[in-house]
Structure 1
Amino acid sequence: MIGNICVQVQRGDITTETTEAIVNSTNENLDLSVGAVSKAILQAGGRSIVDECQTLGRQLPGAVVITEAGKLRCNYIIHVVTVTQQTLEQSIMGILQLAEQNGIKSLSMPAIGTGGLGIDSNDVASKTFHVIGDFVQQALYQQNLRLIRITIFQQPIVGIFQQAMTDLLTTPRTQDDRGAMRKWFGAVGSTIRQAFMGPDKEEQTVLRKQFNTIVLDIYAGSQQNINGAIKHLEATMDQEFSDVVVDDTSVRKLSKEDMSNLNTLADSLNVKVYMVDTGSVTRLHIQGGPMDVMTVHKEVNGLLERIHDEERQEREAKLFAKNVRWLFLNEKEEFEEYDLLTTGIIERAFQHNKSDITLNIEEGQYKIDFKKMMESDLDNPSSSVVEVRRELKEGGFGLLHHGQLWHLVNRWRELYSILNPMSMIQ
């Protein structure tokens, strides 16, 4: 494992993968008829993938785009455009970042660049693992992505990738190499490493200062044993790491100040808070230690409840203000209309037969007396009161308050009994 991401290397056909997404290396035209992997994807996935690629149009070298997967068993295809020796690491990082942004949890990728592009397999293997490590470092406690499966058809290249993973664990590192190391250890990682490889206190102490994640290479006699080990490790990680996704339509209405306050709290608890906007929905991710995540989640719920209350008030205001307007006499001795929300608040109190209502307007407090139809400034009691007025809009009608409604019901019953005297005989 590299951080919270399980990395697997296997021989197989990437077009049969069941991960959420697979990766395809292509050209600027997203032409699936060019390249062995692209052709296999086209044959297995069908014409709809081609149509979507044509809709996206020509791409710049180094671009990374995502499409649906047609008839394939995965949901998405991430297309990386024109990879070169110089842009390989940047392209792989782009793939991981795009997967993360789209909430993808599992990803299968080939040995990018080793086919028609002719990039050395050893170089591709080394850089692939290095980039995954860099991605974990940059996005610590921020991953949707939990599984990267490197699926390679050619057995010799599978061996090269497996050797590259082994080298990450066995190659000695010096004190000067720490900034460039690709061995990632943490509190959980050190425990797992001791269980599998024995203690190394001096090295662990140095690494823990720099990193907070781990690379773990698992070897076993069968795939079943490997899967069992992975499940055990994931259960251990889940005890140390919590990922809460808040999927609420009001998330996108959190203000910059709200997010700033959340991040301040999150930073103090070593928790990561970030938004993922897919266009149709915005989700808030909270990641870190379970108890700390719970604290931040509670704060988020409080902010969202405030937004919900504001939305309810706005809806009610529009309803109550639909047929009436409330006005106050301004300094020019002209009647000026209150804004929609304030009108709704005033009308709601009036309909509920309140004697008065206190308003917060532009950082000031004002009180309207419905009997006198006057507004007074509570922050400046010595100031003169202001006349207010209630008017029906053209074609509008006033809503009935509770007393008026019951009076109308009783009158209707009396009228009905007069017109239908037999109905009152039981």
Structure 2
Amino acid sequence: MASQLDIPLRGTSLNIVRRCSSHLSAVLESKFGCKATVHGVDFERDPRGPPWRSGTVPEKRFTTTLHGGVELSVWKADLADFEADAVVNAANKRLQHDSGLAKALSIAGGPQIQRESADYIAKRGPLETGDALVLGAGLLRCKKIIHAVGPRLYGNYSKYDFPEAERLLRKVIASILDKVKENRLQSVAIPAISSGLFNFPLPQCADAIVSSVRQYYESASYPGHLPKEILLVNHDERSVAEMERACRQMSASGKSSGGAETSAPPVQPGKVRLTVKKGSIEEQKTDVIVNTTSMDGPQKSGQISKAIFEKGGTEMQQEFYRAHAQRNIKITKGHRLHCKEVFHTVCVERGNDAACQILFDAVLNCLKLAALRKHKSISFPAIGTGNLGFGEDESAQIMSQAVADFTRSYRDEMDVYFVIFQKDASAFKAFDERMSSVRPSASDPGFTQDDDETEHRGGGVGAPTPQISLTGPSNEATHEAERWLSGLLFGSGGAVRICNNFVQHFGERENLQLSHLLQIGVSIEEFFERGRAGLIVSGASVEDVGCACLQVEAMLCSIQGECVAEEERATLTPKNPSFQRKPVDHTSQKFSVTSSDLKKHGLQILKVDEVENSTLERLFALKRKQLGCTDPARIMLQRIPAHFCEMVSRIGFRAEYAPPDEPAFGEGIYFAGKMKKALDVWKVREKEEEYLYFVEAEVLTGRSTPGEPGLILPPAVGENPLVTYDSVSGPDVSVIFSSYQALPRYVITCKTL
């Protein structure tokens, strides 16, 4: 069951979040499966940041939708710190990243960027102008870098040189988009290629890039992959302005063919962007699509509603009938639509005395509900202009005023779209003309939230209190995340000890990153004590220590993710591995037996999840055959930290997860036969741990012998060193040295009584 917690921010904790929100979000998602949403924090006031980061807060300037629903947007942001599936590097033919944007990306991404580029050139030779190449992204926030070679114009170029350079610029944009399609990327960030060191005139560069992107998707007749968004990203104001100009001219011209949508320039009151666009409401790719319908269902709805229900499919229709109305709104999933949710609201015909107020309330309530549910984009049709009998200008005025009222207190970003049917030019004009009314005064009071909104958002009027909202899959997950985060933000005292044996996997990339951290005035000491490894981060500034710790935790999460990917490649796991954790019913015998055993040791069982993983089962069976085990596997326990529960369910056991307090029998993977022994091997430190996690596993111990400290492999059975025991043991303890000898069956969550 989903759970939410709010953590207020103040002083040092506020500055840590302001400086390191991206790392914080990534770590919370990886460690605890929790999504972090930051409210009431002005990121533009970041007084300083790590020296390898520009500190620029990404700012979206414009957005429009192209053929096939591909969104084209203009951003002012730093590509070296931008989040997208891929960023484009304006490269030279030999991929020598020693100047301009290429140098900035190479520094931020670490030595892997230049190393991979040099390896490619050594094997394949230099690229040609117009080529694009996909390589790894190193430490950047994207998944891939697309190195693209644009045309170069020299200072004395003639009028005959320019057409060929423009052709090559268009070619390189097409090459980039080909790579997006081949690699099935959802988003790509493209700079003003060739406009810097390569001397291509910036206005013509912007026109060529924008028109090339548009033409690429207008001419695409294939049914293959389409990305969600193409982002035109530049750091300098002049490039951003030219890209925005080119996009607005393209949109205003209406030259997009094949049913591509056109948009009026958006109005941006506060952080809410309102855009009027042409298109079909059922084809929108926003978080929410609003549908106006009858509560009796699609049979009594208008044409727009019928189109939404038809596109959404029978599953959405069935969910609609089951859903309960909130403020006259029923919520369903998007199903076959391109949205996350559909808000089905009810309005009445214009002849009703309350019709205008009902329309106003419907729009405002949909916006409030979208904000409450953390959505960032919402699409409305031109409500009332069909069978309900509203005039186009009247509907535009009411809906625009509702948006204006909403923006008076909503402080986060949201994209709001009024989507007008393609052929309805008069409605588009009416809504476009009303856009200017959406400009709330800075002194306007905020809307009053109802009790349920106040509970979730913190209540109050005006600017929201700075806080982090944690949303997780369970109460245990959010409380674990809160405990960890509170210790980092409020309890570090200038020094933090990070215990995680994956520190031993740090390589050149991570050590370079640690050296960057030393530049902000912290010291980092590595330790290895009795089988446990980690880092101690200390410094005079609690704020700097907190930021450095978040960076280290992000590095560890990245290492762990790479470990999972490498293991799945090594075991030929399918691209979509089949594993799941299924909750065990509280009334089952398994639950009751486990609960009874835990109570004897002062523990209360909260839940039991059964692990199903066909790949691990196959490897376990192969290992049993290899060892020649004929006896049943032993049922044993291992206690692990919360953030390794997902990893053990996915790729099995690793010694790094759960080193014992006393590694008295070797350096392998420890299991205990009984709960009492497990609590002895992995001691509970009261007040430090609210929840405890145990994995029940089948363990192949095979031929075993007593263990001893320092063993990294089982000892030899006799004189032949190649014939070894299968495991080592101690009192009610077994230690294995191959992860395939244990199969996770249940993950048990409990807490101390």
Q: Same fold (TM over 0.5)?
A: no
TM-score interval (norm. to shorter): 0.3 to 0.5
TM-score, normalization by structure 2: 0.28
TM-score, normalization by structure 1: 0.45
More helix by share: 1
Name which one, 1 or 2, has greater alpha-carbon Rg: 1
